[in-house]
């Protein structure tokens, strides 16, 4: 059965990038994946001055609002790197927080879908035809963590 998630306070809200599960990446602590993701849009761009403001935003909604401002200059390679940027942050989130890692692993092999009514790239959009890249990343992170855990078991058995 497909598992749908969207807002952080709804079922499976820990799969939302807006959930308050902080990550350390590139020597910096980010309060949510969303803070990190929005800030990465401006690395190396002429509007990089916005990055500390995104980092300091009290909520992921405010971080997203800053990052979505259409008059600011995104880094030139953003469309090429954004899926990898997101995957790295989501992987770090589930490696860092054991409680939500368990939630992810317990979804077995179910399909995971970000049920956003407006986002046809990261989510499935209003009519469920969206690309669901966030759901796909979560599924691949789930697989990667399973492999890492099985390697740990093998390592423990032979040491
Ligand atoms: N969960 C969630 C959203 N969805 C998230 O928005 C991000 C996409 O941002 P952008 O690329 O700037 O359009 C991405 O992390 C996606 O998962 N958006 C929201 O306004 N509220 C929310 O609770």
Q: 89 near 47, Cβ under 8 Å?
A: no
The pLDDT score that the predictor gives to residue 154 is: 72
The pLDDT tens digits for 102-148 are 999 999 999 999 999 999 999 999 999 999 999 999 999 999 999 99
The pLDDT score that the predictor gives to residue 49 is: 97
24 lines ligand 1 (CB under 6 A): no
122 lines ligand 1 (CB under 6 A): yes
Model confidence band, residue 156 (pLDDT cutoffs 50, 70, 90): confident
Let me know the angle formed at the C-alpha of 24 by 112 and 69, rounded to the nearest 5 degrees: 70
Residues 6+ apart with CB under 8 A from 33: 17, 19, 21, 23, 86, 89, 90, 93
Cα end-to-end distance, the chain, whole Å: 39
The pLDDT score that the predictor gives to residue 153 is: 74
Measured between alpha carbons, how far is 67 from 81 in angstroms, rounded to an integer? 16
The pLDDT score that the predictor gives to residue 157 is: 75
Q: 115 near 4, Cβ under 8 Å?
A: yes
Residue of 23, 31, 34 best suited for mutating to test ligand 1, as the one with most atoms within 8 Å of CB: 34
Strands 23-25 and 28-30: antiparallel
pTM for this model (two decimals):
0.96
Going from the Cα of 134 to the center of ligand 1, the distance in angstroms, rounded, reads 10
The pLDDT score that the predictor gives to residue 141 is: 98
14 lines ligand 1 (CB under 6 A): no
Spell out the alpha helix ranges (H) of the chain.
33-40, 51-56, 60-67, 78-96, 98-105, 133-157
Residue 22: strand, helix, or coil? coil
The pLDDT tens digits for 38-91 are 999 999 999 999 999 999 999 999 999 999 999 999 999 999 999 999 999 999
Provide the token pair at 30.
Answer: 């980010």
Q: Which atom of ligand 1 is nearest to the CA of 67?
A: 12
The pLDDT score that the predictor gives to residue 152 is: 80
The pLDDT tens digits for 40-51 are 999 999 999 999
116 lines ligand 1 (CB under 6 A): yes
Nearest to 141 by CA among 69, 68, 67, 33: 33
Measured between alpha carbons, how far is 48 from 28 in angstroms, rounded to an integer? 16
């Amino acid at each position: 059965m497909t598992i749908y998630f969207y807002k952080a306070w709804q079922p499976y809200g820990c799969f939302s990038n807006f959930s308050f599960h902080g990550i350390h990446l590139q020597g910096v602590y980010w309060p949510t994946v969303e803070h990190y993701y929005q800030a990465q849009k401006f690395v190396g761009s002429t509007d990089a001055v916005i990055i500390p403001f995104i980092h300091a935003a009290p909520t992921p909604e405010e971080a997203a609002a800053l990052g979505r401002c259409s008059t600011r200059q995104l880094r030139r390679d953003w469309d090429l790197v954004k899926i990898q940027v997101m995957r790295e942050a989501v992987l770090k989130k589930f490696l860092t927080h054991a409680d939500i890692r368990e939630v992810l692993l317990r979804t077995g092999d179910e399909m995971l879908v970000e049920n956003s009514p407006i986002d046809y790239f990261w989510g499935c959009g209003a009519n469920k035809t969206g690309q669901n890249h966030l759901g796909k990343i979560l599924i691949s992170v789930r697989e990667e963590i399973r492999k890492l855990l099985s390697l740990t078991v093998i390592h423990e058995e032979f040491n």
